[in-house]
Structure formats: C-alpha cells, structure tokens
Amino acid sequence: MTSMEPRKIAKISHLVHEYSGIMVERVTTRQAEKKILDQMMRYKVNSIDDYIRILETCNHNPLAMDDLIADLTVSESFFFRNPAQFDFMLEVLLPEFFTLHGYQFPFRVWSAGCSRGEEAYSVAMLARYFQNRVPEARFSINAGDINSRNLQMAREGFFNSRSLRDKLPEFENRFGMKLGKPDSDGNCRVSDDIRSMVEFQRLNLKNLQSLQCLTGSDIIFCRNVLIYFDENLRNRLFEEFFKYLNPGGVVFLGETECMPAGIGGFTMVNHKNSYAYRKPLLSKQKT
C-alpha cells in the first residue's frame, strides 16, 4: 500500500470535522488512511483528489461523508446498554414527572446519536411497560443520527444477535414482553407496536441551530457520541441541551463520559449506581 500524503489526510480530516465535529485524530492516522482507501474503493475513485471533491459536496450529497464517518467511528450499540440508567428512568424520573404534571403532557425522550435505534427502542419497551400499568401516561420518543444508513436500519428495526446481546432478555422478562419475533439465527425484527412509538430523523449535533428539535425534552440520551468531539463542541452541546430540556429534565451520558462542573446550571443526580445531569425544577414546581 503506497502511503497517502499527510496533507491530503489532513484535508479530509478537516472536512469531516467541519461537517460533523468528529476529530479524526481520535482514530489513529494509520487507521484513518486505511479507511479512506476503503472508501475510495467503495466509491470507485482512483485519486485522492477526486475523493476529496466528492466529500466537498457533502452538504448536498451526504452519503459519501456518512460512509466515511461510519467507517471512522464505531456505530456499535445494544439494547439496554448501561441498564442502571433505564432503572433510573423507570423508578425515579417517570413517577416524579407524572406526579408533578399529572397526565396532561407526554414524557418526551430524545436519543441523540442513536445509531441503529437500540437505545430508542429500549426506551419504547420501557414506556410500553409503564403504560401497561399506568394507561394515562403518554410518551414521545425521538431519535436522530448523522448517518442516514443507520437511520434506514433503525426504521426497519431488524437486529442481529450482537445488538440483542446481554441485557435484552433480562428486561424482556421483567417487562413481560418481547421486543419482536426472533428468527432461527437469533436475529429479531422489532414488533410493529414498539416501532410505531419511535420517530427517527437525521440529526447532526455539530449543527447547533438544528438542535431546536430537542425542545421540551425530559430526557436526552447522548451516550458514546461526544467522545469524538473536541472539548469546545462538547461544552457548547451541554449548554444547548440545558436550554432545550424541560425543567427537571436530565441528560444521560455514556458510562465513561462526564460533564465538567458548572456547565449550564446542571446538577449531578444519581440513583443506585447510575448518574444523570439534571436541569433544576422551577421554584414553584418544587414540593
């Protein structure tokens, strides 16, 4: 393999960063080079300059950029990842919300950086379980990702055993429901009922103006996404999340992620062995 000119790799890294906030340096240069070559083969281009030209049109035609980003990042996710956060939602956040507001508003959840929908469908199962006990409770569940191929797969709701591993069977037992019908290879299509509860849309977290769609959220899941961004973008995003959350709303981050103290007015709250960042209730809402 002939090596690529470093300034061409730097140019591509710059385009990826401009478009998505992702810092390619987080993926080692050697790996980045291999992934760029893979994408050039995929798009049948022989010269790196031609490939750069394709990426430069990404605002009109994001697929090539999506594919490169998908290759540079890890879209891995699985059902009920970090299960203690789902317990937090079920045991603390939902009872508190419906006690405070009654049933006039839906409880609104966003999964930002949702990959193929594992996180959002886990929330939908939990919501259905809650509704089986409290039928008046309503939910609004939205999910978004920069990668349109991920979104397509999310809408189809067909998962292989990697996504289903680990925690799903335990929650299916607890909730007394199945995610869907498994086939003989251990794959599973999400039931129509659970699929109908989630709305997927394209979301680019780098584009701060587009984050208005998060307005009125009671939970924002943004897990294992911010690791790719620089500190400046991460902190801007925390401030935007604070702005768009409802009072009392929380952000859940990935297990190894945290928010620096003093951002946006969040306080850290915990339940059992999970924690979240909470926007305070308005003083008249406090009991």
86 closest CA partner among 122, 114, 112, 138:
122
For residue 173, give both structure tokens: 């037992």
Q: Which of 106, 169, 254, 264 binds ligand SAM (CB under 6 A)?
A: 254
List the x/- string, 142-181, binding to ligand SAM by CB under 6 A.
Answer: ---xxx--x-------------------------------
Minimum CB distance to ligand SAM, residue 256 (Å): 11
Under 8 Å between Cβ of 46 and 65: no
Piece in contact with ligand SAM (CB under 6 A), picked from 83-91, 94-102, 141-149, 162-170: 141-149
Question: In degrees rounded to 5, what are phi and psi of residue 62?
Answer: -75, -5
Q: Going by C-beta distance under 8 Å and a sequence separation of 6 or more, which residues neighbour residue 216?
A: 108, 244, 246
62 closest CA partner among 142, 132, 141, 145:
145
CA distance 186 to 267: 41
Piece in contact with ligand SAM (CB under 6 A), picked from 57-65, 71-79, 184-192, 208-216: 71-79
Q: Which of 81, 108, 278, 279 binds ligand SAM (CB under 6 A)?
A: 81
Strand partners, 28: none
CA distance 96 to 110: 18
114 closest CA partner among 1, 214, 184:
214
DSSP tag of 213: G
* C-alpha of 126 from chain center: 17
If one asks whether residue 183 binds ligand SAM (CB under 6 A), the answer comes out as: no
Give residue for tokens 């973008």.
233
Angle between helices 48-56 and 29-42 (to 10 degrees): 80
What is the size of the binding site for ligand SAM (CB under 6 A)? 26
Minimum CB distance to ligand SAM, residue 125 (Å): 15
For residue 24, give both structure tokens: 């390619």
Minimum CB distance to ligand SAM, residue 31 (Å): 16
Q: Which of 223, 234, 236, 278 binds ligand SAM (CB under 6 A)?
A: 223
Q: Which of 12, 13, 16, 20 binds ligand SAM (CB under 6 A)?
A: 20
If one asks whether residue 74 binds ligand SAM (CB under 6 A), the answer comes out as: yes
Q: Going by C-beta distance under 8 Å and a sequence separation of 6 or more, which residues neighbour residue 203?
A: 112, 113, 144, 145, 146, 210, 213
Minimum CB distance to ligand SAM, residue 7 (Å): 24
When the beta carbons of 115 and 191 are compared against ligand SAM, the nearer one is 115
When the beta carbons of 114 and 276 are compared against ligand SAM, the nearer one is 114
When the beta carbons of 13 and 98 are compared against ligand SAM, the nearer one is 13
Minimum CB distance to ligand SAM, residue 202 (Å): 8
Question: Scanning residues 110 to 139, which ones bind ligand SAM (CB under 6 A)?
Answer: 113-115, 119
Question: Which residue ranges make up the site for ligand SAM (CB under 6 A)?
Answer: 20-22, 73-77, 81, 113-115, 119, 145-147, 150, 203-206, 223-225, 228, 254
